[in-house]
Amino acid sequence: MFKKQTNFNHRTNNHQPVEVNIGDRFPLTIKRLGINGEGIGYYKRKICFVPHALPDEVVVVEVTETNTHFLRGKIHSIRQASEYRIEPRDSYANEVGGFELEHLEYSQQLKFKRDLIQQSLEKFQPRGFKHYEIKPTIGMENPFEYRNKAQFQVRMVADHVAAGLFKTGSHDLVDLPTCAVQIPITMKVMRQVVKIIESLAIPIYNEEQHSGIIKTLVVRVAQGTDEVQLTFITNSPKLPHKRELLDQIRTQLPEVTSIMQNINKGESPLVWGEQTVHLAGKEAITETIGPLKFRLSARAFLQLNPTQTKILYSETAKALDLAPTDNLVDAYAGIGTIGLTLAHQVAQVRGMEVIQEAVDDANFNAQQNNINNASYEVGTAEELLPKWLDDGFFIDALVVDPPRAGLDQQLIESILSARPEKFVYVSCNPSTLARDLVSLTNDYKVAYMQPVDMMPQTPKCEVVVKLIRL
């Protein structure tokens, strides 16, 4: 059902001028889903993006944006619905980001993610792309209640404290009283804290006036230990009624084992500031993955889906196929979860990561698990890898797990000069993966790609790529 994007450039570059105005309506047949999970159709050969429309549907579109290259519209009505359209569990799924596919049957979401990789490869055309083996996406048995972290904005809405997400393309907050993809304890803590904040009348951040205190609430649960960390992100180091706030949390929410405050004075959309202060309980929570324990600080990254993380890491281990004499580099290491999980299979692990707290966690995690052949350093992969190579460190195996931006060109050059025999790329963005493969396939061949669904109900796609040195 998901058609390939073979002729994207041809179709958009050669379009005829189309006279379309905002508010115009026309019927449109949806051909496929785009990278953001939106439906794509062609109106007089011009590409038209329609959020929440599904392949093979005929919808009446109302135009919301016109542009020389594309049209965007919303569904006015559905003339012919997809057989895979379902009722989303969250009533606000069409309003806020993060629920783009909740109206699509799960089996089709998994097919879409595999198709997305195909589309990205066709766009960037890395060497041999037509012959890559893309395995079926490994999905979840129950693709709900999986997210270990809720990061909600807090604002006053109609005289009440609301905690939720912004409406797509705006700063209008939608309150989220329930959320089907969150692990339930994260929502229970979030909603109770909102009640406590409201009862104590703690000032809430006001964007227009850049006044008030509480901006964002972050609740993260460690599924292996049930420990919960709560972080208040605030506009100032002040936190009025702090003592009452902490007292009430202690009595009403005993599951919260760590309370932190992060100060972000900026008006920028960045959620986290540089300064994190300990308020109560422990400074961090402890997650488990297999037999290992991982300390996790508030600012450190950890995969959002603990159930699928185990699968992602076992696919990574399988693809790396390590030997006891190997030196392994764990690049973009977070709290060291990938490298430490593999340390017993190799001679040595070295990793790097830009967030200091995460690196401290990673080194602490090596120690607390009695792993003495692993160490982590603060810095970018693109700076540290060439430095280690210059110092004479020999790399047999490399795993990279970059953020959505993918690999830095300088890092790619170092990889191509070091040419580690074993190389696995864990990607959370098929576009930058396909782009990076254009250079990497000068020296490596893609053995296979294994998509793993880490974010059901969203268009986000994670894939483990096994590379073989040529």
> Which positions are annotated as active-site residues?
428
Q: Decide: 338 and 312 in contact? Cβ < 8 Å.
A: no
CB of 308 to ligand SAH, least distance (A): 11
Residue 175: which of 158, 196, 189 has the closest Cα?
A: 158
CB of 64 to ligand SAH, least distance (A): 34
3-state class (DSSP) for residue 430: helix
Single out the segment in contact with ligand SAH by CB under 6 A; choices: 333-341, 365-373, 438-446, 456-464.
333-341
- Alpha-carbon torsion, ordered 291, 296, 301, 306, to 10 deg: 40
Q: Which of 163, 381, 398, 415 binds ligand SAH (CB under 6 A)?
A: 381
Single out the segment in contact with ligand SAH by CB under 6 A; choices: 18-26, 59-67, 121-129, 332-340.
332-340
- Secondary structure element (H or E) that encloses residue 55, with its range: none
Q: What is the DSSP letter of 16?
A: P
Across the beta sheet with 58-66, the strand order is 25-29, 58-66, 70-80, 46-50, 39-43, 32-33
CB of 384 to ligand SAH, least distance (A): 8
Residues 456, 305, 214, CA angle at the centre, nearest 5°? 100
CB of 43 to ligand SAH, least distance (A): 39
The backbone torsions φ and ψ at residue 410, rounded to the nearest 5 degrees and listed phi first, read -65, -35
| 148 makes contact with ligand SAH (CB under 6 A) | no
3-state class (DSSP) for residue 387: helix
| 314 makes contact with ligand SAH (CB under 6 A) | no
Residue 108: which of 182, 145, 57, 55 has the closest Cα?
A: 55
Closest to ligand SAH by CB, 106 or 332: 332
List the alpha helices (DSSP H) in 145-232: 184-200
CB of 338 to ligand SAH, least distance (A): 5
Quickly count helices (H) and strands (E) in the chain.
Answer: 10, 22
Residue nearest to ligand SAH (CB): 334
| 332 makes contact with ligand SAH (CB under 6 A) | yes
Single out the segment in contact with ligand SAH by CB under 6 A; choices: 18-26, 57-65, 94-102, 349-357.
349-357
Q: Which of 102, 115, 287, 353 binds ligand SAH (CB under 6 A)?
A: 353
Residues 235-274: x where in contact with ligand SAH by CB under 6 A, - otherwise, as a string: ----------------------------------------
Closest to ligand SAH by CB, 35 or 354: 354
Closest to ligand SAH by CB, 211 or 275: 275
Closest to ligand SAH by CB, 185 or 352: 352
Q: Decide: 47 and 11 in contact? Cβ < 8 Å.
A: yes
Residues 268-307: x where in contact with ligand SAH by CB under 6 A, - otherwise, as a string: ---------------------------------xxx----
- Secondary structure element (H or E) that encloses residue 383, with its range: helix 381-390
Q: Which of 138, 279, 347, 354 binds ligand SAH (CB under 6 A)?
A: 354
CB of 337 to ligand SAH, least distance (A): 5
CB of 381 to ligand SAH, least distance (A): 4
| 465 makes contact with ligand SAH (CB under 6 A) | no
Closest to ligand SAH by CB, 153 or 316: 316
Single out the segment in contact with ligand SAH by CB under 6 A; choices: 77-85, 105-113, 284-292, 330-338.
330-338
Q: Decide: 102 and 418 in contact? Cβ < 8 Å.
A: no
Closest to ligand SAH by CB, 259 or 352: 352
CB of 220 to ligand SAH, least distance (A): 13
| 337 makes contact with ligand SAH (CB under 6 A) | yes
Q: Decide: 27 and 66 in contact? Cβ < 8 Å.
A: no
Residues in the chain, overall count: 470
| 401 makes contact with ligand SAH (CB under 6 A) | yes
Establish how many alpha carbons lie within 13 A of residue 438's alpha carbon, considering only the half-sphere containing its beta carbon: 14
Single out the segment in contact with ligand SAH by CB under 6 A; choices: 199-207, 226-234, 327-335, 454-462.
327-335
| 334 makes contact with ligand SAH (CB under 6 A) | yes
Furthest C-alpha separation in the chain: 68
Alpha-carbon distance of 28 to 43, in angstroms, equals 7
Q: Which of 177, 356, 403, 416 binds ligand SAH (CB under 6 A)?
A: 403
Strand partners, 182: 147
Residue environment code for 46-55, b if the CB has 16+ CB neighbours within 10 A, otherwise e: bbbbbbbbbb
Q: Decide: 214 and 236 in contact? Cβ < 8 Å.
A: no
Residue 357: which of 333, 381, 340 has the closest Cα?
A: 333
CB of 340 to ligand SAH, least distance (A): 11
Alpha-carbon distance of 207 to 264, in angstroms, equals 13
| 415 makes contact with ligand SAH (CB under 6 A) | no
Alpha-carbon distance of 402 to 427, in angstroms, equals 7
| 355 makes contact with ligand SAH (CB under 6 A) | yes
Q: Which residues bind ligand SAH (CB under 6 A)?
A: 301-303, 332-334, 337-338, 352-355, 358, 380-382, 401, 403
